[in-house]
Each structure stands twice: as C-alpha cells, then as structure tokens.
Amino acid sequence: MNGPESYLGLWQRTLFATGDSMDTRSTVYWLQTSSWHADIRIPADRPDFNGTTSLADCSGEQLSWLAQQQGFAGVTVVTGNQCEWKRVIDFQPPSGKRDIASMHFANPDKLLEYGIEDTYSETWERVAGGKNEHCYALQLLAQGVDAEPGSYLLVSGNHFIHARNRPAGLAQLFKGSGQLQFYPQHLLVQLLDFEISFGLRRGAGDPWQITLSTLPWREGHTLFEKEPVLTQANGTCSDRCSGKTWRVLCGN
C-alpha cells in the first residue's frame, strides 16, 4: 500500500503533550517511506556512556535508563486524515492499543498528530534533506529467508534508520521498564539488545555514519563503510560492497 506523498520523508518531533505533561527535550525521529516507517525516541538526560562498548559493560543505572527508550518499525496505513502505525518490531512491549491518530498538516512541513485510542498530541516538523528520490525500505535476508532477528533499513534522502529486533525468542519476555527488578542482569542485557540507529548518508564512496542510537556506543561509528551499491532482481537487492541481501519492501 502506498501512502500519501505528503507523508514521505524524515520528521522530527518538537512537542509531545498529554493532559498533565509536556516533552520538548526528547530526541525523536520518524522516517516514512511509501508504506513503511521507522521511529527512534531517546529520552532527555541520558547518563554518561563514555568508556562503555557493549551492554555487558553497563551498570544497573545505565541499563535502567536504556530500558526507557522507545522505537519501532512497521507498516503505515493512511485512511483520510487517520494514520495507523502497525508495528512489526517494537522496543517496548505491546500496550494493547492501536497506534492510531488523527493527522493535520499545519503546512507541508509541519504535521500535527492527535491520538485516537490514547489522549496525546505531537508536533512533527520535516527535516531538511530528508525527502527526495531516494526513499525506500528493505528487510535483511539470510540464505534467502528473513534474517533472525528481524532487521530493517529505511532510507529517505540523506538519512537512514536501521532497526534490528532483540535476539530470537526474547521479544515476548520484555515487559517494560517497570518490571526490571524481576530480571537477572544477564537476561536484562539480552532483552535490551535491540538496535535502532539513525544517521546520515554522505554520498558515493563515503560511510553511513550513525549519529543517534539505542545502543549509545554505536554513535560515531558506521552502518556501512561505503555507500551500498545495490543490484535489484526479483524483489530483492544485493549490496556488492557489504555482501548483504535485502528484500525490497517498498521504494521510489
């Protein structure tokens, strides 16, 4: 399904409000292709992760903070002025409610979102350079079948979001940050191994640099050492640089 072209591109949230709270400090990006979305939400006041290179290096305080992060990827369905984000993978456990909202464009680059099954509002502003002919979504394959854990790559303009699910068999175990006291630390480390990385494409021959991630030590590193050279055939594409093969979910 192809959604309205007006939604395509990279959006940054500038305001989240409920009846009794307001958030303008979290760093939130939503990347929308013609039918797939990816979202990363990093709360403010992140603790210091200098010297940390993996989840196994994290203190209990750091792990507790990481568990508060949010992010997801999936299929977007737009009907009139209603938009529903059907999450295929999700950092947080299911809430039991649909992620569905009434959407209103204040102007072509400013979008107002009002929750339907939850009471909230969000303001989104389009990021410059986040929309052009390069707008697509891919799913990683391994030996011709979906890679496990699930891994997705969404690109729009000069930006990308890479979303990789937590290891197989663990998705149903994570009950959210309110239940951390019930997990032994070694299990919590596995449950938080869910990567959503946002970053920049810099052009042919240059690396794709990660600038924001649910795994903070990934920031400043690269997703690809070189711009992928994709060869497409029969609904898949192969990258001659990395050797990876992807299913094409959508593209334009």
Domain annotation for the chain: domains and CATH numbers:
5-251 (2.40.128.280)
Pick the residue with more confidence: 26 or 205?
26
Instruction: Provide the whole-model pTM.
Output: 0.95
Give 92's contacts (C-beta < 8 A, 6+ positions apart): 70, 72, 174, 176
**30-46 mean pLDDT:** 97
Q: What is the pLDDT of residues 39-90, one digit of tens each?
A: 999 999 999 999 999 999 999 999 999 999 999 999 999 999 999 999 999 9
Q: What proportion of the chain, given as a percentage, has pLDDT over 90?
A: 80
Q: What is the pLDDT of residues 84-130, one digit of tens each?
A: 999 999 999 999 999 999 999 999 999 999 999 999 999 999 998 65
Could you tell me whether strands 121-126 and 9-17 are parallel, antiparallel, or unpaired per DSSP bridges? Answer: antiparallel
User: What span, in angstroms and rounded, lies between the C-alpha atoms of 170 and 162?
Assistant: 19
CB distance 246 to 239 below 8 Å: yes
Instruction: Please report, for residues 14, 20, 44, 62, 110, the alpha-carbon distance to residue 23 in angstroms, rounded to integers and kept in the order given.
Output: 8, 11, 9, 21, 17
Classify each residue of 32-62 as buried b or exposed e, where b means 16 or more C-beta atoms within 10 Å of its C-beta.
bbbbbbbbbbbeeeeeebeebeebeebeeeb
